[in-house]
Amino acid sequence: MPGPEHKARSRLPSAERTTTWALLILILFPLWLGRLWADPANPSGKDDTMEAARLRMVETQIVARDVTDARVLAAMRKVERHCFVPFESQSQAYEDRPLRIGYGQTISQPYIVAKMSELLNLKGTEKVLEIGTGSGYQAAILAELAKDVYSIEISQPLCNRAKKRLEKMNYRRLHVRCGDGYHGWPEAAPFDAIIVTAAPTEIPQPIFDQLKPGGRMVIPVGDWQQELLVIRKGENGGIERRSIFPVRFVPMTGKVQKK
């Protein structure tokens, strides 16, 4: 019959195995949980492959189509579009097309983002209103170009996601609100420039009213046939419009649909 000392020694390997497994669980479980909860559209660390794709995108899709504003090109090279799309779409982030981001919305084609930004003619001192935050990508580009950016998103889930993403990117002068963009952001008005990233069938009057005299708005307008317009507000409140080219945006939703 083995004595007590032998019994204690025979149990020791099992205790060691239990301790080892416990340590592994303590180490690995937080890592697994962190990956589970991580925002897949916000990968950490620099990705040289993505950076190369982004620089190539700017040259082949944007510079090649005569976007010449140096500040816009710098912003397009800097802001990581793959961080604004779902994980499964990241490999397509720098392709020449829009991508679905959920809830019936899309992130615009890179060229369209660059062109609309250039049409605003921003110098860095402006206060800008964006209607349709979506993924937050256009808002991030605007934050590189203007002093203050106010962005409104009608979809609560998209709004919350964009807020979280942009906060992580430390855009301190970029403000995101969940709500109907038809009403604009009255308490922050007037704005030097306004950009609308969903298409109403006509220019919403409340938004136009929040544009400063001399300011400009870039907006897609139309139903099945849409055109990108640059709207300038005259010093006397009049409206000047210039058509740029045909476009295809998701329709603007909310109160504008009842008008």
Q: Which residues are catalytic?
A: 108
The rounded radius of gyration (Å) of the Cα atoms in the chain is 25
Q: Would you put residue 218 in left (φ > 0), alpha (ψ -120 to 50) or beta?
A: beta
Residue 250: DSSP 8-state:
P
In 163-210, DSSP assigns E strands to: 174-178, 191-196
Structure tokens at 74: 């710098």
CB contact at 8 A, 85 and 53: no
In 12-143, DSSP assigns E strands to: 99-102, 105-107, 127-131
Structure tokens at 87: 């994980």
User: Hey, what amino acid is at 93?
Assistant: A
Q: Return the closest-CA partner of residue 133 out of 95, 176, 98.
A: 176
